[in-house]
Amino acid sequence: MKYGAHFSKPQEPVFLSGILREIDFRELAGDQDGDVSAVSITSDSRDVVPGSLFVAVRGFTSDGHRYIDTAVRNGAIAVICETIPDHIPEEVLFIRVTDSRRALAEAARAFYAHASDHLMLIGVTGTNGKTTTARLIVELLNSCGTPAGYIGTGLCRIGTRDIPLERTTPEAHELQALFRLMVGDGCRVAVMEVSSHALVLQRVHTLRFRGAVFTNLSSEHLDFHHTMEEYASAKKLLFDQLDPEGFAVLNRDDPYAAMMASGVPESMRFCCTLHPEEESSFSCAGRFSALVKAGTVASSEVELSFPDTVITVRTELPGSYNVMNLLEAAAVGSAVGLAPDAVALALQRPFRVSGRMERIEDPFGMRCAFVDYAHTPDALEKAISALREIMARDARLVVVFGCGGNRDRLKRPEMGRIASENADFVFLTSDNPRDEDPELILDEIESGMRGKSYRRIAGRDEAIRSAAALLHPGDVLLVAGKGHETYQEIAGTKHFFSDQEVLGESLRDNAPMKTHKEQL
């Protein structure tokens, strides 16, 4: 991952002696002149320039220790590693640590002058809804006069400046660089999505969160975590890193919420529910609930109940699962001291997140089409249910989706079952096949289909165009799986691809069928 000019550099020299004071190291070798200053910090030997501090991290597919020689040739003045090489140049300082990932986070915090300490950090974790919830919180805070930056899926936003990201939660040194930019821009809060990978791999080590938000937990990333228990334990690490005075906002309706809440004082728990009549398995200082009063494909009217008042909000976000995202953002606003009426006013502002139930305009004004990132069984089911709630009774729902290659294969037949049982017609197609044969992925999805009408079209472009061509007036089309992504990864190569562009063109090129006589 390369951010180039986006990354800030220290205004003052960063001496190695200062970095060493914040690292739990075991041994030093080579040049031990602590007055030498570093110009950058990186865990990628290709990014090393003369004066860099290189951190050798052991990964799953490669080991940074293999690239120490390259880093030194490129000009590294110091190397943090778990094993010191047998032959080392005298002009380079070698720092042996027990865990390079933790050391990277500690060194980065020192290198960027403790940038994260100057921000209120609010972390959002869960399987689905992280992006929408985090972006809602950022919009809420900015609207209420508290400058906030965002770090999450595909994007870092600081004011009006957008910086593309490859990871939902960047590496530790990249995070601190982004925090430095936020501080320089006047931000007081950083709202960030925190992935389970980032928590396990120490990317957020040294960060102390003032707020932690739990959206939900469903089957995902089990190729990495192996079991739901491991996955949940990884998510809970965020709540273990709360500041002593930090607060937790929890989706009480999720069975894993009690686990996330354990360890957080009751006085700092804020619970959100769409089922206020049901008993909770744990207690909270504040309870927030929501009721959808009316909804269409364009907007919803939602009644939000705070601990001591009720407010009504009109939002462009469709579906009950988006109501939970809205509710959790409102709870965060309350937790940081915002008045309910200010929260209501801010949440009613126009709001759209690319690839999150994003409506694509129909030039004929007769059909509804959405692009959504739903790529898990739970997310796909919720997206379909959300559309069912707001579409006309006699309208048909068409779904286009696939599953990514080199990822959890167990979810493929389950997603096939969900789509076939809840949509009127399904197009199975490629997502990001990566190194797998697209047709074999479709075979595994198809094994879960339950008799509903569907077609297999491996080419995603053709599948989307075919689906759009079959829509009648009033019908709804959901293109799921890739959302905000602007590429398709095939056999190790990323090709430009945008669901939004293809769908938009398809709607323009195909006028809606006039009657329902022609069945799918």
Please report whether residue 423 resides in a domain: yes
Nearest to 39 by CA among 67, 8, 13, 71: 13
Instruction: Give tens-digit pLDDT for 428-454.
Output: 999 999 999 999 999 999 999 987 789
188 and 94 inside one domain? no
Distance separating alpha carbons of residues 452 and 96, to the nearest angstrom = 60
Buried b (16+ CB within 10 A) or exposed e, 436-458: bebeebbebbbebbeeeebebbb
494 and 405 inside one domain? yes
Is the C-alpha dihedral spanning 189, 191, 192, 194 positive or negative?
A: positive
> Domain limits at 337?
115-347
105 and 130 inside one domain? no
184 and 300 inside one domain? yes
Please report whether residue 266 resides in a domain: yes
- Supply the pLDDT for residue 146: 96
Query: DSSP of 111-164, one letter per residue?
Result: HTTTGGGGSEEEEEESSSSHHHHHHHHHHHHHHTT--EEEEETTEEEETTEEEE
Q: How many domains does the chain have?
A: 3
Q: What is the CATH number of the domain that holds 468?
A: 3.90.190.20
Q: How confident is the model at residue 298 (pLDDT cuts 50, 70, 90)?
A: low
What are the distances in angstroms from CA 415 to CA 374, 376, 381, 503?
10, 7, 8, 22
For the record, the structure tokens of 484 come out as: 């905000």
394, with CB counted inside 10 A (0-12, 13-18, 19+), is: exposed
Nearest to 400 by CA among 335, 469, 346: 469
4-18, 175-189, 271-285, 390-404: least confident range? 4-18
- The last residue of one of the domains, among 292, 313, 347, is 347
Evaluate whether 79 touches 20 at the Cβ level (below 8 Å): no
Evaluate whether 396 touches 472 at the Cβ level (below 8 Å): yes
Q: What is the CATH number of the domain that holds 17?
A: 3.40.1390.10
- Supply the pLDDT for residue 450: 83
Q: Where are the alpha helices (DSSP H) in 355-428?
A: 377-390, 411-422
For the record, the structure tokens of 197 come out as: 């990978």
CA dihedral 428, 432, 435, 440 (to 10 degrees): -10
105 and 146 inside one domain? no
Q: Where are the alpha helices (DSSP H) in 144-282?
A: 172-184, 196-200, 222-225, 228-240, 257-261
Query: What single-letter DSSP state applies at residue 275?
Result: -
Distance separating alpha carbons of residues 403 and 409, to the nearest angstrom = 8
Q: How far is CA 53 from the centre of its chain?
A: 29
- The last residue of one of the domains, among 347, 377, 399, is 347
- The last residue of one of the domains, among 49, 78, 111, is 111
What percent of the chain lies above the pLDDT cut of 70?
Answer: 93
More confident residue, 295 or 55: 55
Please report whether residue 140 resides in a domain: yes
373 and 505 inside one domain? yes
For the record, the structure tokens of 20 come out as: 């060493």
Is the C-alpha dihedral spanning 39, 43, 45, 46 positive or negative?
A: negative
Beta bridge partners of 412: none
92 and 132 inside one domain? no
255, with CB counted inside 10 A (0-12, 13-18, 19+), is: exposed
Q: How confident is the model at residue 6 (pLDDT cuts 50, 70, 90)?
A: very low
For the record, the structure tokens of 122 come out as: 């609010």
Evaluate whether 105 touches 179 at the Cβ level (below 8 Å): no
Distance separating alpha carbons of residues 242 and 470, to the nearest angstrom = 51
Instruction: Give tens-digit pLDDT for 358-414.
Output: 999 999 988 999 999 999 898 899 899 888 887 888 899 999 999 999 888 989 999
70 and 144 inside one domain? no
15-29, 98-112, 293-307: least confident range? 293-307
**Would you call 55 helix, strand, or coil by DSSP?**
strand
Evaluate whether 192 touches 203 at the Cβ level (below 8 Å): no
